[in-house]
Chain A
Amino acid sequence: AQTVTQSQPEMSVQEAETVTLSCTYDTSESDYYLFWYKQPPSRQMILVIRQEAYKQQNATENRFSVNFQKAAKSFSLKISDSQLGDAAMYFCAWAGYSTLTFGKGTMLLVSP
């Protein structure tokens, strides 16, 4: 069975600083997708960024970028120039042929 591990239950960052959230996964499949979802307090979970495993280039979306290390099965999320609105629970997710598996999440706190 696939597993997704987010080893940081909580992270803190100051506004304008950079923070990296960690995610590792375990799979024997070669083709899959990886996602980071953001869940603000009492608001909808939304997709932040997606990475196809067959692509070597790391995905980026404005201030959000990933460091995808396929051999190490690592998929970290870097948030640059952090903003108060980035405060949320962040979930890493792995998707294979027919299964989507989420990690337990990392709560990101942003201070002024």
Chain B
Amino acid sequence: AQRVTQPEKLLSVFKGAPVELKCNYSYSGSPELFWYVQYSRQRLQLLLRHISRESIKGFTADLNKGETSFHLKKPFAQEEDSAMYYCALNNNQGGKLIFGQGTELSVKP
């Protein structure tokens, strides 16, 4: 079964500390993975996707097929990074996007 797991409901760090939000997936094919972010009182929006291999707002994510992971990382957290983060998997079945449970990131001053 296709599944996305984000093991941490809440991650709290201090400003300037490194951040890693974990995402593990279960999928038999070649996955397409995404990170979406929801800032307070804003809409859910795409942060980055693995095929783009881009860095957005200092965040990066590398697909590790051996560990079936797509962890989101940032070397120095900022207070404005506080938000809800969702990892998502496209299972290539008619466009279904499967989301993880979400991790709330809190960056303290």
Whether chains A and B associate is: no
* Residues of A that sit less than 8 Å from B by CB: none
Chain B residues close to A by CB (< 8 Å) = none
